[in-house]
Amino acid sequence: MRLRVLGIETSCDDTSLALFSRQRGVVGNLTANQLTHDKYGGVVPEIASREHIRNLLPVFEALLDRCDFTSKDIEGIGVSNGPGLIGSLLVGVSFAKALALALGVPIVGVHHLEAHILSNEIEGGELRTPCVVLVVSGGHTSLYHVDRVGCYQLVGNTRDDAAGECFDKVAKLLDLGFPGGPAIERVATNGDPQAVRFPRAMMVRGNLDFSFSGLKTAVRLHVESVSRLDEKIIADLAASAQEAIVDVLVEKTIACAKAQGVANVYLAGGVAANTPLRSRMASYSEQEGMDYHAPLLQYCTDNGAMVACAAARHLARGRDDGTSLDVFARGPIVSWS
C-alpha cells in the first residue's frame, strides 16, 4: 500500500490529476475546469473531449512540478474508465495507457462511483463498514450498502434525473449559470426555504428510490407563473428547491441506514459539497445515533485524488489491466472482495 499512484479523472468536464500514496496521502491534486460549457448551460461532450486533449499534458507537467516529482517516481496509474462520457473517458484512458507503457508501471481502470465512495478515505482513514453511502452527483443519485471495501450493493437509485442534474436545471431556469449547484447554494442563503412547497417525490415508507424530474417541472411552472423574476423571488425559489432536494436525500439515506441496520452514514459526489445537505445529514444522523462522514469539500466534485486513492487499493492486490483496459458509458460497480 506504499505505492505512489497517479490518478487521472476525465469522465466528464474536469481534467484532474493527482499523486497519492497511502503513507503520505495526497501529495498533489490539480484540476483544469472547463469553463467553456457555461455558455451552453451544460456539458457538450465533443467540446469536453477536445478540452481534455488540450489540458492533460500541461496539467500532468504542472502537477509533477508542484510536487517536485519526476514521472519516474510514479509506481502505478489509476484512471476513471467509466461510467461517463465515452469521448472524455477515451482521452484519459489513452493518456494513462501510453504513460503506463512508457514508464513500465501497472495501470488499473477505476469505476468513477467507487472512486467517489473511496474519496472518504483520502483524509478520513479506512471506510467504517458496514455503512450506507449516498453517492450524489451530476449523473447519479444512488444509495449503496457497503459491507466492506470492495463489496457494494446498490439499494436505491434515481428513476429519472440525478440530484445534481436537478440543481443544474433549476439554476438554468433561474438564469444562474453552470454548474448550478454552487450557484443555487450561494443565492439560497438570501432566500426563504419555506417560501414555496415544492414536491418531495416517492416519500413512501420502504422505497429507497429517488425522482427529481417532477421538482424541475414544478420550478419551471412556478417561474412561468410569475410576471417578473426579481432577486428576492430567485433567492426564495433557489432556497425552496434546495430544501426539497435536501429533505429527500437526508430522509432516504437515514431510512436506508435504519433498514440495513448500519451505524455509519457517508456522503460522496459533487452534491456532497452542499453545506445545507452536509449539516442536515450530520444533525439527523446524530439524532438517530449514527456516525456521519463526508469527504473534504475539495474531494466532493470530480478529482484525480479519489481515483488515485481507489486505484491504490486495486494496485495493492497486484491488479494490472494493461493495454486491454477499455472504457464504458454506463455500468454497475463490480464488487471485488
| Footprint on this chain of Zn ion (rule: CB under 5 A) | 137, 302
Reported in sequence order, the residue ranges of 197-329 that DSSP labels E, i.e. its strands, are 264-268, 291-293
Nearer CB in complex with Zn ion: 83/106 = 83
The distance of closest approach from Cβ of residue 272 to ligand KG4 in the complex, given in angstroms and rounded to an integer, is: 8
- Spatial distance between the Cα atoms of 292 and 286, rounded to a whole number of angstroms: 8
The distance of closest approach from Cβ of residue 102 to ligand KG4 in the complex, given in angstroms and rounded to an integer, is: 29
- Spatial distance between the Cα atoms of 111 and 245, rounded to a whole number of angstroms: 26
The distance of closest approach from Cβ of residue 9 to Zn ion in the complex, given in angstroms and rounded to an integer, is: 8
The distance of closest approach from Cβ of residue 181 to Zn ion in the complex, given in angstroms and rounded to an integer, is: 12
Least Cα distance to 296 among 285, 305, 286, 288 occurs for: 305
The distance of closest approach from Cβ of residue 84 to Zn ion in the complex, given in angstroms and rounded to an integer, is: 8
Residue that the C-alpha cell 484512458 belongs to: 93
**Among the residue ranges 63-71, 135-143, 196-204, 323-331, the one whose residues contact ligand KG4 (CB under 6 A):** 135-143
- Spatial distance between the Cα atoms of 322 and 258, rounded to a whole number of angstroms: 42
Among 7, 78, 270, 295, binds ligand KG4 (CB under 6 A): 270
Q: Which does 185 bind (CB under 5 to 8 A by kind): ligand KG4, Zn ion, none?
A: ligand KG4
Q: Does residue 16 touch ligand KG4 according to CB under 6 A?
A: no
- From residue 161 to residue 190, what is the string marking binding to ligand KG4 with x (rule CB under 6 A)? ---x--xx----------xxxx--x-----
- Spatial distance between the Cα atoms of 301 and 136, rounded to a whole number of angstroms: 10
- Spatial distance between the Cα atoms of 71 and 111, rounded to a whole number of angstroms: 24
Burial of 68 (0-12, 13-18, 19+ CB in 10 A): exposed
Q: Does residue 9 touch ligand KG4 according to CB under 6 A?
A: no
Q: Does residue 139 touch ligand KG4 according to CB under 6 A?
A: yes
The distance of closest approach from Cβ of residue 23 to ligand KG4 in the complex, given in angstroms and rounded to an integer, is: 27
Q: Which amino acid is at 1?
A: M
Least Cα distance to 180 among 114, 273, 251 occurs for: 273
- From residue 302 to residue 331, what is the string marking binding to ligand KG4 with x (rule CB under 6 A)? x-----------------------------
Q: Burial code of 296-322, b = ≥16 C-beta within 10 A, e = fewer?
A: eeebbbbbbbbbbbbbbbbbeeebebe
Nearer CB in complex with Zn ion: 81/260 = 81
Give me the residues that bind ligand KG4 (CB under 6 A), please.
Answer: 12, 137-139, 164, 167-168, 179-182, 185, 269-271, 273-274, 301-302
